[in-house]
């Protein structure tokens, strides 16, 4: 059986998806997690970005429970390591969506791209909040609301990306079991 150009392209997409997945796990294990250790606490939240939303009290508490060095480390993390994570995870999820849907529904990668853009935007807002906190121990309610809203949007888009992948897997399994058998 000859491999068509379409099959070859789909195999290449699979290799990219696997490669990006491996890169994501390696990045998390050897770069992301180690570089976040300098602002981690034993008790309490270690990331505003993982809360579905946050309030001014939560942000004040998050920053107030950290030293100046920890806040500096957190700001460096938001500037360098988190944006790279967003880029790699977007490539990972996007390539899986392209592979699962065999390039037929490229618009389905939109939530992954929107997740990355929202993550970068949220990082920028968090950096503004850190700067404000360090300079005056006060954080504007407007900044907190904006950051919280962007964060909620980011997590919604991330959830939608996961849902698209799960639906794609379910459809692929269904197609596999319902395709006619050749004798």
Q: What is the rounded CA–CA span in Å between residue 70 and residue 55?
A: 21
User: Is the pLDDT confidence value at 88 over 50?
Assistant: yes
User: Is the pLDDT confidence value at 1 over 60?
Assistant: no
Predicted confidence band of residue 7 (pLDDT cuts 50, 70, 90): low
C-alpha triplet 138, 59, 159: angle, nearest 5°: 145
What does pTM read for this prediction?
0.88
Q: What is the pLDDT of residue 183?
A: 58
pLDDT digits (tens, 9 = 90+) for 111-164: 999 999 999 999 999 999 999 999 998 899 999 999 999 999 999 999 999 999
Nearest to 152, CA basis, from 62, 60, 50, 63? 50
Q: What is the pLDDT of residue 43?
A: 83
Under 8 Å CB-to-CB from 152, ≥6 apart: which residues? 52, 53
Nearest to 162, CA basis, from 86, 85, 92? 92
What average pLDDT does this structure show over 158-176? 94
Q: What is the pLDDT of residue 110?
A: 94
């Amino acid at each position: 059986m000859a491999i068509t150009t379409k099959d070859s392209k789909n195999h290449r997409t699979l290799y990219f998806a696997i490669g990006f997945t491996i890169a994501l796990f390696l990045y998390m294990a050897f770069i992301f997690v180690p570089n976040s250790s300098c602002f981690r606490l034993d008790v309490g939240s270690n990331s505003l970005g993982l809360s579905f939303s946050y309030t001014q009290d939560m942000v004040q508490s998050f920053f107030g429970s950290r030293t100046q060095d920890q806040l500096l480390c957190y700001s460096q993390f938001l500037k360098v390591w988190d944006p790279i994570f967003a880029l790699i995870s977007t490539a990972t999820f996007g390539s899986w969506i392209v592979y699962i849907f065999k390039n037929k529904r490229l618009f389905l990668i939109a939530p992954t791209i929107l997740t990355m853009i929202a993550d970068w935007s949220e990082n920028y807002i968090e950096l503004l909040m850190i700067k404000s906190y360090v300079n005056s121990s006060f954080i504007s309610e407007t900044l907190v609301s904006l950051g919280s809203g962007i964060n909620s949007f980011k997590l919604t888009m991330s959830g939608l990306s996961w849902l698209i992948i799960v639906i794609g897997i379910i459809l692929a399994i269904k197609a596999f079991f319902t395709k006619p058998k050749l004798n």
